[in-house]
Structure 1
Amino acid sequence: MLIIAEKPELAKAIAAAFTTQPKRIANAYFDCGIANGMSVKITWCFGHMLALKDPEDYDPKYKKWSMHDLPIIMIPWSKKPIEDKKVQLKAILALIKTAKVIVHAGDPDDEGQLLVDEIIDFANTQTAITAKSIKRLLINDNNVSVVKKALASMKDNTHYKGLSNSAEARSVADQLYGYNMTRAYTLSANSGGVLSIGRVQTPILGLVVRRDLENESHQKSFYYDIEAIFKFDMPNNKNINQDIIETKARYLLKPSDNVDEKKRLLDRAAVEILAKDIYQQKARIKNIKTDNKQQAAPLPYNLLKLQMDCSRKYGLNADVVQNITQVLREKHKLITYNRSDCEYLNDEHHVDAGYVLAAIAATAVIFAGIIKKADPALKSRAFNNAKVTAHHAIIPTQTSVNINILTQDEARVYQLIARQYIAQFFPIRTYEETKIIIQCPVDKLDKIDNLANNSKNATLFEARSILAINDGWKILYKNDTDNKDVGKDEVDCQNNLALLTINQLGINTKATVLDKETRPKPLYTRDTLLGDLSRVAKYIKDDKLRQLLLDKDKGKSGEHGGIGTPATRAAIISGLFERGFLIDKGKFVISTPLAREFYTALPDQAKYPDMTALWHEQQKLISEGKLSVLEFIKGMNAYIATQIANVKINKIKIISQANFNLSKGNANFKANKASSSENSNSKITPTKSAKIYACTSCGSNLRKIQGKDAFFWGCTAYPACKKTYKNGRDKPVLE
């Protein structure tokens, strides 16, 4: 029996389910001896081992970009080994030849299904497979007990062919769309640089461009509010160490108030009258409601949430965070799988809690004291088998190291992951929330009937206070005040408003009209852009398409109709920066003039996430066997052909490329300092960049990339150009 795992660490976990001492052979597979009358060998992949062939692999003429050759239609398509994975692939293919039973142990999602299926299919093209059966092993957790359960419940791999077909269709369509559209727009613009287009990257660019334009075109208008403060005497109350309770209160709108669509007051004169009517007037407590509240700890991190917090707290870019987590996982063995989109853990992990907490205390001594107060017996909402997807949340392992061997940023990222895990073993936060309704002014106070007056015309205000019962896990976040997952207590009164009584009388001590002005949606920051990518469905106007995108992420925690994946978003955003489409302006991310011109030239389907929604609908049909991959690709080719025809007829004009010429290494910019105005329209001016190297194949910029074993240089026009170069003394070795 040959088991093909998606990753080396999964292969190791499967081997541990068979024997405590598996033999590692030629650094290519584990020999686990005999089980159930069969020899067991376990090999592994390094992610995808095969890639779709490039156009020039089918015909050398495609190496030179020509509008005459478009659209390029690669049917049938085929695949080739990825260069730096050929050795391991060769070993896998050799093992497949002699295997009687093959077990597919890719990740339990469509991409994981394709990853191993394509190797088996590729092996079949080399020589006929003699295996009598191919089984499917579904594992989403490397815990040995989970692996053993999965081994006992394997099914035939044919049950999952639809998932593989769905991923295959998406992969082929992405390549055809990206290659054809990129070449067409680049050739039409003829401006010396590559205008890269992709199903995911271009809608991301569209998000930023539209936000920038909306911000700049915002027309300021005014609205009004009232700041009201009320005082209530507490002369005989022994539960409070002062004689009064003073509280701010928010005005409650009446049906007759003149408001905008966001329920903001528009008539200043009316607000002035209101302030005058209540100032130093008698007030009474009309209603008091106290509720017992609970707040669960934030869930352990998935990659997206971790990237957002690292950006917010430390200014780390998403791709930097992803690389750091790779180092923490592969080099230091300190964290579990780092590209997860899940925030939950299998129940089996709870057994290991004490060991993991001890490892954290030994590594991050800053947590040693607080861990002594943690209770490993507590089981938070994070432990839920039903909500674990292809991978569980990112958590620390039972490995410990001297934290001084980590870089500052590695230590910071590890400590964030550790804190989120520790929080699962502290009590739920509990508190009392009290809301009071204040009526002011109050007429005819000498008549008790009037104190119970429920007139719709009464002027009412609301105030809120909270009383902590048990802070629980929140003590871990006392210095993290802007953490949205933790939440900030917005209260009107520092005292406990529950000490007041219904019909208790008081007085207004302040009534001030506040002049406010409308503000545009804020420009994107790195972390808010990442956050929006997980919920872009809200920007789709078509109800059906919006729902399709939401359905795509049904059951996924942290994803609500998104585009891209946690594993790819960082690289896509970095690519938009490197190609001169996006720049940093202080803490904000803004689009360049080149990006805006490019955006204007693109069709709507390229600028919005609609295509991902449409594809999801068709991929669902493919996975159900109701639509073939070939039919989907033929439809995609027809769509591409119409887009290419439009580009050929309507020439693309891009003038900004002259100022931001990618091929001449001017892709880095700086913005003039923003003025104090929040919606300043500062102009963007080019500046000299650091040393930049050009691709010898297409002329675009090169970027340094962390590979599996070492750094290398790749083209920023990827995937249109896949040229790579070795790294030599921090610069590419150009041919």
Structure 2
Amino acid sequence: MRLFIAEKPSLGRAIANALPGPQQKGEGFIKCGTDTLVSWCIGHLLEQVEPDAYDPVFKAWRFEHLPIVPREWQLQPKANTRKQLTVLKKLVKEADELIHAGDPDREGQLLVDEVIAWLKVAPQKRAKVQRCLISDLNPDAVRRALAQLKPNQGFVPLSTSALARSRADWLYGINLTRACTLQGQKSGYQGVLSVGRVQTPILGLVVRRDDAIAAFVSKPFYEVLANLQTEAGEHFQAKWQPSEACAAYQDEEGRVVSKALAENVVRRITGQPAHITQLTRKTKQQPPPLPYSLSSLQIDAGKRYGMSAQQVLDVCQSLYEKHTLITYPRSDSRYLLEEHYERAPRVMQAIRNTCSSLVEAVEGADPNLRSKAWNDKKVDAHHAIIPTEKQANGTRLSTDEQRLYELIARQYLLQFYPNWRYLDTEVMLDIVGGSFIARARETVENGWKVLFPSRSSDDEGGSEGLQSALPPLQQGQVLQCLSGELQEKMTQPPKHFTDATLLAAITGIARYVKDPDIRKILRETDGLGTEATRAGIIELLFKRHFLMRQGKQILATLAGKALIHSLPESTTLPDMTAEWEARLNAISQREDSYQAFMQSLEATLGDLIGQVGQTTVKVPVSTETRQKRKGVRRSRKNTTKK
């Protein structure tokens, strides 16, 4: 008998629907034909045990117990899924052949592997387990995956990497959370001060942004514009570029802070000739944006609709599992397999019939075009999120489901539109020895931008100071500066994070790191955490009252700030997480070992706990908590008197 073990029931049903033979539903499984069963996990069926399972003495939180490092790791069944684990135990024992059908990522690999290990499957049987990688729940796509089974042994390094991550997170979180909480109790804080190797750097990001805003002092700076006129009477503006001689009157960002200097430039250039010293025109083009990964979709949906990362993930799961309208959503890739290109006409037809607002976009797409999205070398476990070939009545979708499907479908259709072509013009001018510059960008061909009529070309970045057009000009031409114009501006503080900008900062965390080697790692690993975990970690920070919302803004609470200000700096920065991810990836590529990674972590952990032990963790106590404590003390006094 052959047994498929899927990651969740929806995937199990999709596999069963793609298999031949009549179906017979059982308790926790589906029988297909005469010799094939499909069963499933319900997410993780097993979880790490608590420290007191290793030694009852650990039930009490004491600093002298730290660090707690298990020598023989233990898992236990989750209480709410124990019944399904019992079902799998019986089926696995009866099966002659096992097929691992976890989600196509690191966590999905471990999730089923750990069940097989927990059930003590014989070594000979484990050696023959096959792997089924499914990223699209539609029957045709599932059948293709079923025809391309691979030996599960080839995924052992990926599973080992996930195991190392799981155990390392337990060690780091359990030990530092206990250490910080115990230190906080010394200052009167009664809550749990949770620490995690991803959640704490994310919290640190918000705290440092809030601190920068609180400490910010706005200061004036000055710019000078030259109002120019050609011989034909056409007008445009050019901006003054201060020379090195002005450095003493500029701030660290190169802005002129001396009003007198700027006023002097205005007086000097008014009514003077302006000589064009250099003129360049370049026709450029920009290819369409790639299809979405989960993070890029979450960022766009946050900007457009104010949706949180968790909301986007939840809606995507519904589109994937319930409606089967999109491919696997927890993807970190923005590329597609080349074999998908042949299915494009059918996907376009599905978009046309599902999303009425994109009918015109489908008609304008050229299926003969091929963007750089199709690239097998850039696809690992899973590809970008795209619509499936399934057609549905869009009115049956919720508002959020319609919105996200339209975003995903439009991004897919972009791959069949030509590049956006534009002409960049840059003019350098000399006015009485001062340097001025004028820039313009004109669209030559809209290309894929026709699908974004409300979005200006300036949205693509690098567009500050761009004018829509300049009059016909030539190098060496002499113009007239009618007047100088002084513009007084104020420096602006950083903006508080929103759902979209916080997620963008997390995925682009490299820009906040000074060390070039660590910055390189973070670029390669696409930021902090993974596509599958980021949304949950952000929500966890809210649940633990380290973050709060103020309208669309995300701010750190007093507890969140106090925790970050008290912790060793290394725990609040992304550097260590970057190093972890690099090593975990190396383990998955057989370039590093589980043992070496865990040994180095244990050594680091001892140092960090020592640093926390020498720190005072002061968390401000809220008025409400103070009142409750006063009430408790009064009650105790009254009881004593009685």
- TM-score band by shorter chain is 0.7 to 0.9
**1:320 and 2:314 matched:** no
Native 8 Å contact 2:137 2:320 kept in 1: no
Which letter does structure 2 place at the counterpart of 1:467?
A: E
Q: Which residue of 2 aligns with 1:118?
A: 114
Structure 1 residues 94, 664: CA separation in 2 closer, same or farther (over 3 Å shift)? farther
Native 8 Å contact 2:425 2:440 kept in 1: yes
Q: 1:34-91 CA distances to partner (integer Å, 9 max, x unpaired)?
A: 9xxxx66554444433222222444555455455644433221121233344444344
Residue number among 253, 268, 279 corresponding to 1:262 in the alignment: 253
Deviation at 1:197, TM superposition (A): 1.0
Q: Which residue of 2 aligns with 1:249?
A: 238
Which letter does structure 2 place at the counterpart of 1:426?
A: Y
**1:535 and 2:530 matched:** no
Q: TM-score, normalised by structure 1?
A: 0.76
Deviation at 1:630, TM superposition (A): 4.6
Distance (Å, rounded) in 2 between the aligned partners of 1:250 and 1:203: 40
Structure 1 residues 476, 138: CA separation in 2 closer, same or farther (over 3 Å shift)? same
Q: Which residue of 2 aligns with 1:224?
A: 222
Q: Which residue of 2 aligns with 1:197?
A: 195
Runs of 5+ unmatched residues, structure 1:
235-243, 442-457, 554-558, 666-735
Q: TM-score, normalised by structure 2?
A: 0.86
Please say which of residues 325-334 and 92-101 is displaced more in the overlay.
92-101
Structure showing the higher helix proportion among its residues = 2
**1:474 and 2:449 matched:** yes
Which letter does structure 2 place at the counterpart of 1:397?
A: T
Runs of 5+ unmatched residues, structure 2:
630-642
Native 8 Å contact 2:66 2:609 kept in 1: yes
**1:430 and 2:421 matched:** yes
Which letter does structure 2 place at the counterpart of 1:215?
A: I
Q: Which residue of 2 aligns with 1:74?
A: 70
Deviation at 1:311, TM superposition (A): 1.9
Q: Secondary structure at the match of 1:524?
A: coil
Distance (Å, rounded) in 2 between the aligned partners of 1:339 and 1:476: 26
Q: Which residue of 2 aligns with 1:408?
A: 399
Q: Which residue of 1 aligns with 2:26?
A: 26
Structure 1 residues 225, 174: CA separation in 2 closer, same or farther (over 3 Å shift)? same
Q: Secondary structure at the match of 2:120?
A: helix
Structure 1 residues 646, 372: CA separation in 2 closer, same or farther (over 3 Å shift)? closer
Structure 1 residues 145, 92: CA separation in 2 closer, same or farther (over 3 Å shift)? same
User: How do residues 559-574 of structure 1 correspond to structure 2 at under 5 angstroms?
Assistant: 559=526, 562-574=527-539
Q: 1:244-276 CA distances to partner (integer Å, 9 max, x unpaired)?
A: 432122223434332444332344433333222
Structure 1 residues 481, 193: CA separation in 2 closer, same or farther (over 3 Å shift)? farther
Q: 1:394-452 CA distances to partner (integer Å, 9 max, x unpaired)?
A: 222333444333333332222222222232222222222222223334xxxxxxxxxxx
Structure 1 residues 493, 524: CA separation in 2 closer, same or farther (over 3 Å shift)? closer
Residue number among 169, 174, 183 corresponding to 1:174 in the alignment: 169
Q: Secondary structure at the match of 1:256?
A: helix
Distance (Å, rounded) in 1 between the aligned partners of 2:21 and 2:621: 60
Which letter does structure 1 place at the counterpart of 2:503?
A: L
Q: Secondary structure at the match of 2:329?
A: coil
Q: Which residue of 1 aligns with 2:636?
A: none
Q: 1:113-153 CA distances to partner (integer Å, 9 max, x unpaired)?
A: 3223222221227x666456234455666688887887777
User: How do residues 284-299 of structure 1 correspond to structure 2 at under 5 angstroms?
Assistant: 284-299=275-290
Which letter does structure 2 place at the counterpart of 1:389?
A: D
Alignment size in residue pairs = 623
Q: Which residue of 2 aligns with 1:418?
A: 409
Structure 1 residues 175, 482: CA separation in 2 closer, same or farther (over 3 Å shift)? farther
Structure 1 residues 220, 291: CA separation in 2 closer, same or farther (over 3 Å shift)? same
Structure 1 residues 270, 648: CA separation in 2 closer, same or farther (over 3 Å shift)? closer
**1:584 and 2:549 matched:** yes
Which letter does structure 1 place at the counterpart of 2:398?
A: T
Deviation at 1:356, TM superposition (A): 2.6
Q: Secondary structure at the match of 2:245?
A: coil
Distance (Å, rounded) in 1 between the aligned partners of 2:354 and 2:134: 29
Distance (Å, rounded) in 2 between the aligned partners of 1:519 and 1:198: 33
Residue number among 44, 48, 51 corresponding to 2:44 in the alignment: 48
Q: Secondary structure at the match of 2:119?
A: helix
Distance (Å, rounded) in 1 between the aligned partners of 2:21 and 2:604: 55
Q: 1:599-651 CA distances to partner (integer Å, 9 max, x unpaired)?
A: 22211222112221332354356446676535543543444344445555655
Residue number among 341, 344, 363 corresponding to 1:350 in the alignment: 341
Q: 1:322-366 CA distances to partner (integer Å, 9 max, x unpaired)?
A: 222222222233322222222222223233333333333333322
Q: Secondary structure at the match of 1:432?
A: strand
**1:517 and 2:506 matched:** no
Compute the RMSD of aligned alpha carbons.
3.5
Deviation at 1:315, TM superposition (A): 1.8
Distance (Å, rounded) in 2 between the aligned partners of 1:306 and 1:292: 30
Q: Secondary structure at the match of 1:464?
A: strand
Q: Secondary structure at the match of 2:364?
A: coil
Distance (Å, rounded) in 1 between the aligned partners of 2:193 and 2:534: 19
Native 8 Å contact 2:137 2:324 kept in 1: no
Distance (Å, rounded) in 2 between the aligned partners of 1:183 and 1:342: 36
Distance (Å, rounded) in 2 between the aligned partners of 1:323 and 1:192: 33
User: How do residues 609-620 of structure 1 correspond to structure 2 at under 5 angstroms?
Assistant: 609-619=574-584
**1:373 and 2:364 matched:** yes
Task: State, as a whole percentage, how many aligned pairs show the same letter.
Answer: 38
Distance (Å, rounded) in 2 between the aligned partners of 1:347 and 1:627: 31
Distance (Å, rounded) in 2 between the aligned partners of 1:109 and 1:185: 33
Q: Which residue of 2 aligns with 1:606?
A: 571
Distance (Å, rounded) in 2 between the aligned partners of 1:131 and 1:524: 48
Q: Which residue of 1 aligns with 2:640?
A: none
